[in-house]
Amino acid sequence: MSRISRTVNRYPLITFFALAYALSWWPWIFYVFDLLPQPIVGFGPFLAAVVVLGATGGKAGVVKLLRQMVQWRFPLRWYAVALLLPVAITIAATAGNVLAGAQMPSAVELGGWTNLPGTLLFLLLVPGIGGAWEEPGWRGYALLRLQSGRSALAASVILWLGLVVWHLPLIVVGEIHWSDIIFLLGFAVVFNWIFNNTGGSVLSVMLVHAMNNTISGDFFGPMFSGVDFARQSWISAAIWCAVAVVVVVGAGPRHLSRQYKKHEETTESKAPSTLAETPA
């Protein structure tokens, strides 16, 4: 076994995060010279997970991740949560922003809602467009290992720190607002709650990520600018964090679920095929 292989096997999580940053941030130099529109690509965490899983678990590890990405058999109520929660939060943030003095979106702007299903499918299915393809890395790989020996809440906080670092290039260049540092904390807890309650389905968190980018980033977000945009960002971040507090209180910090155990790293032979029940 080579030194690189030994290092990856000994420090898989550290290797994953290092690769996630490297495989995501490489466009930066091209962005500086106006050769690319973004300083970061969204599928870097997915590629990092594939590389580390291939090095540590071989084909079986990669196949398991790919299966999680198409794991669609989970209760219908969690489809509702994944698709409707971002909509509810964004509408609430928009209403609060307008009440605080932002200009009301025009009827023409609001009429663009008919494009939302197509945008959602585009962001969900096309790697690197939007944030959905981050999730196989963040949740499908890193969270499983962070939750081993830790509470789901503690794992969420650690993952949040990794997410903040990953998003720094976008914050520095102004692609996303500084409030996203707070927003990502609520995001991490809520996403991990959904992940643990859907049997470790990566598809479930890809759905909620794609829907949030669709409704907030591509629909309501462009309706505001300047101070109004900043206020919208802060209100949205506050609501996501408020929802995260409700989740922790209601579901409990240990598993972020009253019905199921948190999902942890397992060997292929011991990997659960159904939702593992635990006492409420």
Q: Is residue 211 part of a domain?
A: yes
Residue 218 forms part of a structural domain: yes
Q: Is 277 helix (H, G, I), strand (E, B) or coil?
A: strand
pLDDT range class, residue 100, cuts 50, 70, 90: very high
Give the pLDDT of residue 39.
Answer: 92
Fill in the amino acid letter for 59: K
Residue 173: inside a domain, yes or no?
yes
Answer yes or no: is pLDDT of 271 > 60.
Answer: no
34: left (phi over 0), alpha (psi -120 to 50) or beta: left
> With 90 as the cut, is the pLDDT of residue 267 above it?
no
Rounded-to-integer distance, Cα 150 and Cα 254, Å: 8
Is 54 among the domain residues? no
Q: Is residue 274 part of a domain?
A: no
Q: Is the pLDDT of residue 115 over 60?
A: yes
Answer with the residue of higher pLDDT: 266 or 78.
78
Residue 97 to residue 103: CA distance in whole angstroms: 8
| Nearest one of 30, 22, 23, 25 to 40, comparing CA atoms | 25
Give whole-number Cα distances, 272 to 11, 268, 276, in Å: 24, 9, 7
Confidence label for 9 from pLDDT (cuts 50, 70 and 90): confident
What pLDDT does residue 273 have?
Answer: 37
> What's the rounded mean pLDDT across residues 153-171?
97
What is the span of the domain harbouring residue 92? 73-251
257: in domain: no
pLDDT at residue 218 above 90?
yes
Neighbours of 235 (CB within 10 A): 22
**Weakest mean pLDDT among 127-131, 214-218, 244-248:** 127-131
Q: What domain count does the chain have?
A: 1
Model pLDDT, residue 1: 59
Residue 147, judged by CB atoms within 10 A of its CB (0-12, 13-18, 19+), counts as buried
- 221: in domain: yes
User: Residue 3: which H helix or E strand, with range?
Assistant: helix 3-10
Residue 244 has pLDDT above 50, yes or no: yes
Chain segment 34-62, per-residue pLDDT in tens: 898 889 999 999 999 999 999 998 899 99
Q: What average pLDDT does the segment 166-186 reach?
A: 94
Is the pLDDT at 266 greater than 50? The verdict is yes
Is 262 inside a domain boundary? no
pLDDT over 80 (residue 16): yes
pLDDT band at residue 5 under the 50/70/90 scheme: confident
Residue 118 backbone phi and psi in degrees, to 5 = -65, -40
Rounded to two decimals, the pTM is: 0.91
**Closest by Cα among 42, 36, 29 to 163:** 42
Mean pLDDT of the chain: 92
Bridge partners, residue 277, by sequence: 260
- Following DSSP, what letter does each residue of 119-182 receive, concatenated? HHHHHHHSTTSSSGGGHHHIIIIIIHHHTTTS-HHHHHHHHHHHHHHHHHHHHHTTSS-TTHHH
